[in-house]
Structures are given as C-alpha cells and as structure tokens.
C-alpha cells in the first residue's frame, strides 16, 4: 500500500472469524470518492482490507459489474436494480470466506474489516443481515460532477452523448433515493459524509468517523493517495474540474432529469445549475 503501513499479515493465515469484531462498509455511488476514502481508512492499523472492490475479489458470489455486463449506470435500469437487489443472487457465507481469506492487515490483531463496492448501495439491508457489528460510511457527491465523470468513461461517440448524459443522470438520482433510505434506516450505525465536506473539512470528517469507530485512531483524509491509476495527489475538491467540462447543452440535458427530483437534490444540499 503506497505510503501506508505494510500489510504483512494475510487473512489466509489468521482466524478472522474470531479477530474481526466490526464490519465497515463504505457505501457510495461510483465517482463519489469512495475509493480515496476507503484507501485512507485502510491505512489505519486496526483494519483488514482487500486489494480490490469486494465485488471483484476471487470467489465472490453475487452480481459483479465486470463479469455480469452491468454498466456504470446500473441504477438507471430497473432490471439492473432488481438483479443487484435479488437475494437469491448472493451467497454471503462464501463471500465472507473469500474476503477473509484474501484480506490483509498491518497488525495481526486488527479487528475491523473494511471494504466497498458501489452497487452495495442497493443492498445495505442484506449486509446488516449477514455480517456482525456492521457500520456504514455513506457517501455522496455533487451529482453534476458524478455525471461528467461517468460519461467521460462511457461515451465512445459524440452522437451517444445525450443518451449517456440521461442515463448517468437517472443513475445518480436513483442512487440518491436509495442513499436517503440508507441514511434514514441506519442512523445509529452509520455516518453520512459528502465528498465536498471531506475535502473542505478533512480533520473534522475524520473525527466524525472516529466517533463511529474509535479504533480508527490514525485516520487522515488530508493526504496523498493513488486512486485507480488515474491520479495520485493530495486530497482536493475536483468538482469544478469535472463540472467545467460540461457545456450548456450537457447541463440542459442533465437538468431534464434532475428537475424531476428537486426535493431529493435539496435534501442533500444540491441545486440545479443554470446554463453556462
């Protein structure tokens, strides 16, 4: 792990069924900063962590966006949402064993298992049912920045742009709906932090996380972390960079979707952008 504690202990050599006392799931849509946040948490000595998203680990039994041809805009489709939420598509006993076997920690007595996968946003209830002492960190980000980030990765031809924007906008609004439900359902065991608040108040955000899980004593969000091989720099708010790539027609297309969800936008402190 870059610039972090050496993960020299392997779950395969330890009894994580006895060692792990808390399961921390970072729950947030794709492009919402969950990779950076999870990597920061994994640098704490009390954590067992995985080398990849939980859904992509060897032996995982459940909907996997890579192997089930699920698009980045999975929440824009009721069929994809139903597939991800279907309880019969998971074997949580096998998932636990696979994750524990491949987990790594800097200390043998680490007692917190931490992981993330964006589609888990739709199945927080299943995580609570199948894992002990579950804690959640719920994340969201300015939806315009999320839409731009998704579309930058998915648009192959400019003629596809309008449809890609619509799908990405529908995806993030559905994610907002489920995240609101998650936050309201798990107030006692979860913490909500926006991407913007972590960037503007990293120290206070870390303290809030430590109040939820005191063992995360070394947690520091204000640091340099490599993310998905795309950038490696100090924590900073990249929203302006993303939103600045959207043209007037893009914003008008996105607003056609967002305008139908104004109450949801306002619930999380976001508002419609005017044309630029």
CA distances from 38 to 101, 174, 209, 221 (A): 19, 23, 12, 10
How many whole angstroms from its chain centre is CA 155?
Answer: 22
pTM for this entry:
0.94
Q: What's residue 1's pLDDT? A: 42
Cβ pair 144, 229 in contact under 8 A? no
| Total count of residues recorded for the chain | 276
Q: What gap in Å lies between CA 190 and CA 94, rounded to an integer?
A: 25
Q: Mean pLDDT, consecutive 10-residue segments, the chain of 276 residues?
A: 75 97 98 94 97 96 90 94 97 98 97 98 98 98 96 76 94 98 98 97 97 97 76 81 94 96 96 79
- All domains in the chain, ordered by first residue: 9-142+187-235 (3.40.50.300)
Q: What's residue 67's pLDDT? A: 82
Q: What's residue 247's pLDDT? A: 94
Cβ pair 237, 165 in contact under 8 A? no
Q: Which residues contact 233 (CB under 8 A, 6 or more apart)?
A: 224
Phi, psi of 169 (to 5 degrees): -65, -40
Q: Which of 144, 146, 164, 163 is nearest to 154 (CA)?
A: 164
């Amino acid at each position: 792990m870059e610039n972090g504690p050496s993960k020299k202990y392997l779950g395969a050599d330890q009894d994580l069924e006895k060692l792990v006392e808390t399961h921390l799931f970072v729950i947030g849509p794709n492009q919402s900063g969950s990779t950076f946040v999870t990597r920061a948490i994994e640098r704490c000595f009390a954590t067992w962590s995985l080398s990849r998203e939980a859904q992509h680990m060897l032996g995982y039994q459940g909907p996997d966006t890579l192997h089930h041809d699920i698009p980045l805009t999975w929440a824009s489709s009721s069929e994809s949402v139903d597939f991800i939420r279907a309880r019969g598509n998971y074997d949580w006993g096998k998932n636990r064993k696979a994750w524990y076997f491949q987990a790594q920690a800097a200390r043998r007595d680490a007692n917190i298992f931490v992981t993330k996968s964006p589609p888990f946003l739709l199945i927080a209830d299943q995580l609570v049912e199948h894992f002990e002492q579950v804690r959640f960190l719920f994340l969201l980000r300015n939806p315009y920045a999320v839409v731009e980030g998704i579309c930058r990765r998915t648009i192959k031809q400019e003629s596809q742009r309008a449809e890609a924007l619509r799908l990405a906008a529908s995806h993030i609004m559905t994610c907002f709906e489920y995240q609101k439900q998650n936050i309201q359902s798990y107030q006692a065991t979860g913490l909500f932090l926006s991407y913007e608040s972590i960037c503007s108040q990293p120290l206070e955000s870390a303290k809030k996380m430590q109040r939820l899980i005191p063992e995360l004593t070394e947690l520091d969000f204000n640091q340099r972390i490599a993310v998905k091989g795309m950038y490696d720099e100090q924590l900073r708010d990249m929203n302006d960079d993303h939103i600045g790539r959207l043209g007037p027609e893009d914003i008008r297309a996105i607003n056609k979707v967002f305008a139908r969800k104004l109450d949801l936008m306002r619930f999380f402190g976001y508002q419609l952008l005017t044309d630029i």
